[in-house]
Chains A and B, each alone.
Chain A
Amino acid sequence: DTGVSQNPRHKITKRGQNVTFRCDPISEHNRLYWYRQTLGQGPEFLTYFQNEAQLEKSRLLSDRFSAERPKGSFSTLEIQRTEQGDSAMYLCASSLVGGGADTQYFGPGTRLTVL
């Protein structure tokens, strides 16, 4: 049973470049979440999908950020025109709604550094 996987694990980019991250959830999970975590803080909710539908976006998610989950399986998070303030760990989680606790299981994260 594989867990949530994320690629790449690390990304270094220059300010103004676009970056894309990928998340593969646990196979039977129908909900997928993206979070951002900065140093010394807990994760902050960005957006979530139920199957292929993006049902909520945080106000933290500016218009430079876009997320997709085209077939209800893997998801991508794209950041356009990156800024130094985007440097953070981007975490993906998945859960099975209707499974009682709806516990979210996290991937290892993608650490983004914007120079």
Chain B
Amino acid sequence: AQKITQTQPGMFVQEKEAVTLDCTYDTSDPSYGLFWYKQPSSGEMIFLIYQGSYDQQNATEGRYSLNFQKARKSANLVISASQLGDSAMYFCAMREGGGGFKTIFGAGTRLFVKA
């Protein structure tokens, strides 16, 4: 069965520093996709970055990068040069491939950026 684990309920980072948010997953399907979403206090889920299981390189989107370690089944999000506006909940999610539709989410990590 699919499972997503985020072990850090809360994280603090100093403004302009980098931070890594952990995510491990479990699936028996060789084809899957991994996603990270940001949820500010307003409630909207904002898509940040995607990594496919067959992608050879780690995904990057601006200040976001995904540290994909397939053998360890981890997909950590790295945010470089943190900004105050990065304070939010961050969710890791996975969708199994083969035309799969169901996406499961982790419990989230709340990031606090300190000035």
Contact = CB atoms under 8 A, between A and B. Distances in A.
Judge: A and B partners, yes or no. yes
Interface of A: 31, 33, 40-45, 48, 50, 55-56, 89, 91, 93, 97, 101-109, 111
A42 B43 contact: no
Contacts of A97: 99
A55 B101 contact: yes
B6 to A, nearest CB: 8
A33 B107 CA distance: 19
B50 interface: yes
Interface of B: 4, 33, 35, 37, 42-47, 50, 52, 91, 93, 95, 99, 101-108
Given A45-B102, A45-B103, A101-B50, A109 B108 contact: no
Given A42-B104, A101-B33, 8 more contacts: A40-B107, A41-B107, A43-B45, A43-B105, A45-B102, A48-B102, A97-B99, A109-B43
Nearest to B100: A102
Contacts of B105: 42-44
A42 B47 contact: no
Given A45-B104, A101-B50, A104-B103, A93 B45 contact: yes
8 contacts: A33-B103, A40-B107, A40-B108, A42-B4, A101-B52, A102-B33, A103-B47, A107-B44
Contacts of B107: 40-42
A56 B101 contact: yes
A102 B95 contact: yes
Contacts of A101: 33, 35, 50, 52
A89 B106 CA distance: 16
A31 B101 contact: yes
B57 to A, nearest CB: 15
Nearest to A45: B102
Contacts of A103: 35, 47, 50
A42 B106 contact: yes
A108 B42 CA distance: 8
B47 A105 contact: yes
A91 to B, nearest CB: 7
